[in-house]
Amino acid sequence: MTEHNVYRSSTYAPVNIAVIKYWGKRDPTLNLPTNSSLSVTLSQSDLRTHTTATCSASYTSDSLLLNGKDQDISTARTQACLRELRTLRRKLESESSHPLPELSSLPLKIVSENNFPTAAGLASSAAGFAALVRAIADLYELPASPTELSRIARQGSGSACRSLFGGYVAWNKGEKDDGSDSVAYEVAPASHWPDMRALVLVASAEKKDVSSTSGMQTTVKTSSLFPARAEQVVPKRMKEMEKAIREKDFETFGRITMAESNSFHATCLDTSPPIFYMNDTSRAAIRVVESLNQAAGKVVAAYTFDAGPNAVIYYLAENEAEVAGTFKCILGKKEGWEGQKGKAVTAKKALNEGV
């Protein structure tokens, strides 16, 4: 029997949570969004995907295992990522001054583990595709920048392009039809605002009913609120949010974050048939944040919800006792906040530990 080399590379990619939401595609094939978006990347020590990519002539075909389960690798999005990465590797092999192993023609085995509920509105596809793209890019020793990798990861899942950077990250919707300028860029590193904290409250670890992909397509087709959101509301908020981050203005950061979450969920409700991602527990979290802010006389906490009922609460370290303390206290006793493995609350503080 011939001995075949096995080439290997492993990486982590963290989850990112949008404060300006991506919702709507202008080109579903290239995964180009109708509006730009902005997110905060959580620290790698919290919610993240770990991915190992190997390739070898001893494998019979490409495969992808997520949390121990075989995944369909033939989807157009996964195939788009693999094709782009192989093309870049092939280029490297043909242009190199010394012979390189022809990894581009070997089957790939990709093994991923999430340390949080998959597809429960906790940006699992974002961390998943970001980790997949970076693991293979490392395996292929591609000289690709995070920007270039974000262009590839975007084709796997839009929000994934933002998980290739740490800190505060924007995804520019781009203008070109080929999507070459629809990439992520760093607004500020995590170290710029080291006091920022995020508390992740797991209201349900169930898989969501309506996937982001199909939900946003229906919104684009049916919501009358959607055009104004994409064309007027979001572009204005993008500018304000970038400024708030640069100036470390939590009041504005928090105000826009909450308004954006509400606008996104209003658009979902305005979709036909309506999409409900939040539940009673989510709404209870909003009320807690509202009362905290009212008591403080300023914005000390800001909630946001993606395509699921789980809340992410942003706050500053100086308000840790007030914000995280209040949630832990309430949630410790309250039913409905079931995390993984029966934990009452999954609270994750991050962001300044470096990604």
- Contact segment (CB under 6 A) with ligand DP6 among 91-99, 102-110, 118-126, 194-202 equals 118-126
Sketch the per residue contact string, 207 through 236, with ligand DP6: x for CB under 6 A, - otherwise: -----xx-----------------------
Question: What would you report as the CA-atom Rg of the chain, rounded to the nearest whole angstrom?
Answer: 21
Q: Which of 11, 35, 37, 257 binds ligand DP6 (CB under 6 A)?
A: 37
Residues 140 and 54: their CA atoms lie apart, in Å, by 10
CB of 71 to ligand DP6, least distance (A): 14
Question: Shortest distance, CB of residue 54 to ligand DP6, whole angstroms?
Answer: 25
Cα–Cα dist 104/340, whole Å: 39
Candidates 168, 196, 203, 205; CA nearest to 288 is 203
Q: Which is nearer to ligand DP6, 46 or 306 (CB)?
A: 306
Residue 163 within binding range of ligand DP6, rule CB under 6 A = no
Q: Cα–Cα distance between 13 and 21 in angstroms, integer?
A: 20
Q: How far is the CB of 272 from ligand DP6 (least distance, A)?
A: 19
Nearer to ligand DP6, 23 or 140 (CB): 23
Q: How far apart are CA 214 and CA 24, in angstroms?
A: 10
Q: Name residues contacting ligand DP6, limited to 15-34 (CB under 6 A).
A: 18, 21-23, 31
User: Residue 160, Cβ neighbours under 10 Å: how many?
Assistant: 32
Q: Where are the beta strands (DSSP E) in 133-173?
A: 168-171
**Plot region of 345 (φ>0 → left; ψ -120 to 50 → alpha; else → beta):** beta
Q: Footprint of ligand DP6 on residues 263-292 (CB under 6 A)?
A: none
Mask: binding to ligand DP6, 69-108, rule CB under 6 A, as x and -?
----------------------------------------
When asked if residue 158 is in the footprint of ligand DP6 (CB under 6 A), the reply is yes
Question: Could you count the other beta carbons within 10 Å of the beta carbon of residue 222?
Answer: 13
Q: Does 125 bind ligand DP6 (CB under 6 A)?
A: yes
Stretch near ligand DP6 under the rule CB under 6 A, chosen from 92-100, 156-164, 195-203, 346-354: 156-164
Per rule CB under 6 A, count of chain residues that contact ligand DP6 = 16
d(CA 89, CA 105): 9
Q: What is the Cα–Cα distance from 84 to 95, expressed in whole angstroms?
A: 17
Judged by CB under 6 A, the stretch of 65-73, 101-109, 120-128, 328-336 that binds ligand DP6 is 120-128
Binding of ligand DP6 by 159 (CB under 6 A): yes
Phi, psi of 339, deg, nearest 5: -95, -160
Give residue 114's Cα distance to chain centre.
Answer: 13
* 260 binds ligand DP6, rule: CB under 6 A: no
Between CA 147 and CA 153 the distance in angstroms is 10
Euclidean distance between CA atoms 30 and 77, whole angstroms: 9
Q: Write out the residues near ligand DP6 by the rule CB under 6 A.
A: 18, 21-23, 31, 37, 123, 125-126, 157-159, 212-213, 306-307
